[in-house]
A and B are shown apart, each in its own frame.
Chain A
Amino acid sequence: MSILLSEDFTFIVQGITGREAVNLTRECLDYGSKVVGGVTPGRRGREVHGVPVFDTVAQAVENHGSAIDGSVVTVPPAFTKDAVFEAIENGIGLVVVVTERIPRRDVAQMVELASERGARIIGPNCLGVIAPGVGKMGGIGGPARDAAKAYAPGPVGVMSRSGGMTTEISSSLTAAGLGVSTAVSIGGDAIIGSTYAELMPLFEADEGTKAIVIYTEPGGRMEAELVDWRSEHDSRLPIVAFMAGKFMDDEEMQGMSFGHAGTIVEGAEDSATQKIARLEQAGIPVVERIDEIPGAVKEKLGAGAGA
């Protein structure tokens, strides 16, 4: 079982003729995903790995003959907002924004339009979504063969602010015999389309998901939002967390950002120490070692089964 994606989920790639987009199109097709078109203005009539290229999203939808479910947007930062608006205004419900270094105002505008139109954005600055054995949308996990190696189907939902760590953690869950229901690279920016708390209801509704793992970093208030969501909803899902970037709490590191743009600490509440305390207080264990995640998940699942 999975969230966001399904066997017959269709999507396009905006910016499909770019080098990275060509690669991710290949990877997604090999993994069995239904890439039904691509858009690059001025390149109508071409093909990328057999996928037809159009000038506009409207043309892609018309060619497909019915609504298209999703779009992966991988265009330069200056053009991303317009591309996302185009996808949303053409009825696309799930937009994965890969592009990084987009100004916050543009991201906030995309997110607000999406919310007005009932669409969902994942990212920006993310690698996308993978539902093992169902499909993948974006570069997450790499080539189909590598993705299959790291991601086996299973009961754990993964949400991560780091694309690479999504795969690292999922791979350890796979190696431990657990596997993943859906893994979402939610993006490393200060403002993102879908936060942990905003994805929780989807995992909650997915019968195949029995536990959640989050990878988090300093900066932002997303963890506090998750804690609040949990206390307001009677969630059946245990959560295990990992916090990277604890060294950023050092005096010398104040005001600096490492790894992702979103790690900029704008108040004491954003620091690793305070986030860990807040999560632990809410009954969400934060493991010290990255390789303790599978064990902590098993413990939670075992406890759930016994109850």
Chain B
Amino acid sequence: MRFYEFESRRIVERAGIPVTDYGFCTSAEEARSIAERIDGPTVVKSQVLTGGRMKAGGVKFADTPAEAAVHAEQILALEISGHMPVGVLVDPRAEVEQEYYAAVLWDGRAKRPMMLFSDMGGIDIEEVAEKHPDHVGRGHLSNLHPISDFQAKQVVAEAGGLTGRELTRATPILTRLAQLQRDFDLTLAEINPLARLADGSFVALDAHMEMEDEAVGRHRSMLAEIGVELDEPRELYEPSEFERNVKAIDEADHRGVIQGKDHGFEGNLGLVIGAGGGSLTLTDAVRSQGGKPANYAEIGGNPSVSKSKGLAMEVLKKEGVEKIAVMMSIVSNTRVDIVARGVIKACLELGKDPAETITVFRIPGAWEEEGAKILDKYGIEFKDRSTSMWEAAGEAVERIRGDG
């Protein structure tokens, strides 16, 4: 789960990391009063879950509260890459002496969290790491043993040779960020820039936090405290009707799992496919042979007839989809006969001839003899494991082309 900037600031603030005297609001009037309280130049920032705010005009500078209100009005109405802001953040314009980068994220290869610190903040860290490797400090953390200040200190000291008050002031901030990453299952805990102000104090000017979806359930009280409502959608994009419908069918019945996605797919061949790795393999196989999938799908576990039917119907209801391919890698849990019944029912209920609509049925494995019998009744050829996944996908592509 991704957090808005104002939420990320609340998270770091709770952890004892200094932040500016910012305010979050949803109206121009509130923006004016926050700017009045700040009593100085401000920055008004759109709160959206997407990058490129600055370029899109979602970040504006104001010298007076009246100006802040005007900016807030405009930004609140400004859509950025398909996202409407949930509000604006009004921030004092700080006098920054130096910008730093601080982050803690997972290093999958080491299977441990990794601290990153740089004295070249405010810019893309990957670029800094590539061009100025001596300005980036790194250090891994245990998952079991307590996090200690010296570990953060080592990382800070390694970044461009920081010492003096810079070192002693930045160290506890990185330690707290590391603790935060661990305590709240953050897949990314980043402060960029972390700023040193004219008076030598450090403050987080922007923060970017992401929490692992699987762990959201165990952090309800912290989330409630910072004002996150759990039923808010936090998707990368707005789910389509197809995606919403498949999800609803899946949730209505606990047996088996079906998933469907069609974001980025615009083809004419409907895919009723599974399981996890099988779906990836089959989607590639269709595309590599010139086919155009209308969607991605996954059948997993042992879904009921009505659930299999539901997925096939939703695929067939998609605009421009006349035919489907029903394919899976060898199954041991999913029953071939149940999927066969489901997809045939879907065709019949939509008034379509199953033999015409189902371009290929290739699901080898559990209950395949029974499945083959059912398919045979409707004039559909059952493909067992002697037809490879690549060949099955190719046949589906051929059949849809033949109709072209």
Verify that A and B bind, or say they do not: yes
Chain A residues near B (Cβ < 8 Å):
77-78, 101-105, 107-109, 111-113, 116, 139, 141-143, 146-147, 150, 160-165, 167-168, 171-172, 175, 188, 190-191, 215, 217, 220-222, 224-225, 242, 244-248, 250-253, 255-256, 258-261, 263, 267, 288-291
- Say whether B144 contacts A109, CB under 8 Å: yes
Q: Out of B106, B126, B263, B330, which one reaches A168, CB within 8 Å? A: B330
Which of B165-173, B279-287, B305-313 lines the interface with chain A? Answer: B279-287
Given A171-B385, A259-B276: A146 touches B365 (CB 8 Å cut-off): yes
How many residues of B sit at the interface, in one of the four size bands? 35 or more
Given A104-B185, A142-B333, A259-B276: A291 touches B391 (CB 8 Å cut-off): yes
- Say whether A164 contacts B214, CB under 8 Å: no
Task: Flag B372-401 by CB within 8 Å of A: 1 or 0 each.
Answer: 000000000000011011110000000000
- Say whether A221 contacts B263, CB under 8 Å: no
Given A150-B330, A252-B263, A289-B388: A109 touches B143 (CB 8 Å cut-off): yes
Cα–Cα, bound, A209→B187 (Å): 38
Cα–Cα, bound, A139→B365 (Å): 14
Q: Out of A104, A112, A142, A165, which one reaches B212, CB within 8 Å? A: A104
Q: What total of A-B pairs shows CB separation below 8 Å?
A: 166
Cα–Cα, bound, A148→B283 (Å): 28
- Say whether B111 contacts A108, CB under 8 Å: yes
Cα–Cα, bound, A147→B187 (Å): 38
Given A215-B277, A252-B263, A289-B285: A165 touches B187 (CB 8 Å cut-off): no
30 intermolecular pairs with C-beta atoms under 8 Å apart: A105-B212, A109-B144, A111-B111, A112-B112, A139-B333, A142-B333, A142-B365, A143-B366, A162-B280, A163-B277, A164-B329, A164-B331, A165-B277, A171-B330, A188-B277, A191-B108, A215-B277, A220-B108, A221-B108, A224-B109, A225-B109, A242-B281, A244-B280, A245-B284, A256-B263, A258-B298, A263-B280, A289-B285, A290-B388, A291-B391
- Say whether B388 contacts A162, CB under 8 Å: no
Cα–Cα, bound, A72→B113 (Å): 27
Cα–Cα, bound, A220→B111 (Å): 11
| B390 CB contacts on chain A under 8 angstroms | 289-291
Residue among A112, A146, A261, A290 with the most chain B CB within 10 A? A290
| A109 CB contacts on chain B under 8 angstroms | 143-144
Cα–Cα, bound, A47→B106 (Å): 42
Is B154 in contact with chain A by the CB < 8 A criterion?
A: no
Q: Which residue of A lies closest to B287 (CB)?
A: A247
- Say whether A146 contacts B332, CB under 8 Å: yes
- Say whether B143 contacts A244, CB under 8 Å: no
- Say whether B276 contacts A188, CB under 8 Å: yes
- Say whether B332 contacts A143, CB under 8 Å: yes
A80 to chain B, nearest CB (A): 11
| A77 CB contacts on chain B under 8 angstroms | 214
Given A142-B333, A190-B106: A103 touches B143 (CB 8 Å cut-off): no
- Say whether A245 contacts B280, CB under 8 Å: yes
| B331 CB contacts on chain A under 8 angstroms | 142, 164
Q: Out of B126, B185, B214, B278, which one reaches A165, CB within 8 Å? A: B278
Given A103-B185, A168-B389: A108 touches B143 (CB 8 Å cut-off): yes
- Say whether B109 contacts A112, CB under 8 Å: no
Within 8 A of A (CB), among B170-227: 182, 185, 187, 212, 214-215, 218
Cα–Cα, bound, A165→B332 (Å): 11
| B279 CB contacts on chain A under 8 angstroms | 258-259
| B4 CB contacts on chain A under 8 angstroms | none
- Say whether A256 contacts B236, CB under 8 Å: yes
Is B261 in contact with chain A by the CB < 8 A criterion?
A: yes
| B278 CB contacts on chain A under 8 angstroms | 162, 164-165, 168
- Say whether A244 contacts B284, CB under 8 Å: yes
Is B288 in contact with chain A by the CB < 8 A criterion?
A: yes
| B329 CB contacts on chain A under 8 angstroms | 162, 164-165, 167-168
Task: Flag B280-306 by CB within 8 Å of A: 1 or 0 each.
Answer: 110111011000000010100000000
- Say whether B388 contacts A172, CB under 8 Å: yes
| B212 CB contacts on chain A under 8 angstroms | 103-105
